[in-house]
Amino acid sequence: MKELIKRNNFLSDTKEVKKVLSSKGVNVDVDTLSGILDPKNAVEAHTSLGGKASEEVGKMIKKIKDDIIGYNRKIQGRERKIRNASKLTERIVKLVLSGKKISEVRV
């Protein structure tokens, strides 16, 4: 990498990278080098769980969407319980305010 910088080249300059590698005893053809240094190939190579490959990202997106659906269902269930508890509380308060003893109120 230092040699590329000294020569004012980048990894995308595959011919220059090949020259530097050849000088270090590493022989690789330009096409192979282009494939190795291609950013898209580099991203798609990360296929492990949670990797950057598009297939893995798609799996993560699906899981997150499924999780959100599950959380929304839980929230709706809790909201329903809160509404029911609120209605029951209102009924009990009305009965007590109308003169009924709390011990006589059926829940």
Residues near 5 by beta carbon (within 8 Å), at least 6 away in sequence: none
Of 45, 64, 44, 63, the residue nearest 54 (C-alpha): 44
Predicted pLDDT at 32: 86
Predicted pLDDT at 86: 98
For residue 20, name the pLDDT band (cuts at 50, 70, 90).
confident
Predicted pLDDT at 69: 98
Predicted pLDDT at 35: 84
Span 39-44, average pLDDT: 86
Which residue ranges make up each domain of the chain?
1-37, 51-107
| Residue 75 confidence (pLDDT) above 90 | yes
| Residue 97 confidence (pLDDT) above 90 | yes
